[in-house]
Structure 1
């Protein structure tokens, strides 16, 4: 993942897990500057962050009041871009639908964990809190991995 310029977190409609993951990542320290954002697989019109996801983010000290969902597009792919999905189904859909798809991984896969990030949509607020906790744990591992790779490149 050397020479990374952009990390894009992708979820179904860019109103919950993707934006949460992007903002958690932005709250961490990376040795090298990287653009971090989120996209959706199906975005028919711009939507704000899911209210329960927003409440969980605020409770954890992260404000996301200006978020509007954005559709994933062909221009989002590049050699220096890392596309991270929340589940295997999204990864497969991206690879199938985008001719230029490259560097597409499931978050758990990138950090060497089993499973996927559960979708809390439609569940109680506690499900969103659990999703935040899972994302925070996985993204902390991702940041450590990226920072370690960066330091190894400097040697």
Structure 2
């Protein structure tokens, strides 16, 4: 995998899966300096993390206090950035909406790691569904970090 200066996780609102993925990935050691952030596709104003997302992160020893949602912008789409969507539909939306300014690589998380199923959106579900989302993201991001650290596919 090629080296990126910044990795940005993207989900719909920027309050659940993407910030959860960001927080998880920051717990791992990456062999070169890389910024890890998250964005939403529809963020009308900054919002704090979904309460269930925050509770699951805290219960797993991760502090994501004061994290606020941010809108994905054309400035995020630079050539040294990797944009990671949670679903194919989100990737398509990014490719369509930003086609004139898109220089970044845009991928679906599970496509990068070779997993069959996309990361399900826990929004509106029970705390248990957020916990399951965390477990799935953690396994998938561990694979992603290994790919990054091994430098495969360069």
1:71-128 CA deviation, whole Å, 9 max, x = no partner?
Answer: 0000001221000000011000000000223310000001111121000000000000
Partner secondary structure for residue 149 of structure 2 = helix
- SS in structure 2 at match of 1:105: strand
Other-structure match for 2:113: 111
1:78 aligns with 2:88: no
- Deviation of 1:2 after TM superposition, in Å, equals 2.3
Contact 2:3 2:148 in 1 (8 A): no
Counterparts of 1:26-65 in structure 2, within 5 Å, are 26-65=26-65
List alignment gaps of at least 5 residues for structure 2. none
| TM-score, scaled to structure 1 | 0.94
* Misfit runs of 4+, over 2 Å: 99-102
Quote the Cα distance in structure 1 between the aligned partners of 2:111 and 2:35: 21
**SS where residue 49 of structure 1 aligns?**
coil
Query: Scaled by the length of structure 2, what TM-score is found?
Result: 0.95
Q: What is the CA deviation profile of residues 7-45 of structure 1, one whole-angstrom value per residue up to 9, with x for unaligned ones?
A: 000000110000000010000010001000000000001
Offset at 1:60? Answer: 0.3
Distance 2:51 2:3 in 1: 35
Q: 2 CA distance for matches of 1:137 and 1:100?
A: 32
User: Which residue of structure 1 lines up, in the alignment, with residue 133 of structure 2?
Assistant: 131
For this pair of structures, how many residues does the alignment match?
Answer: 152
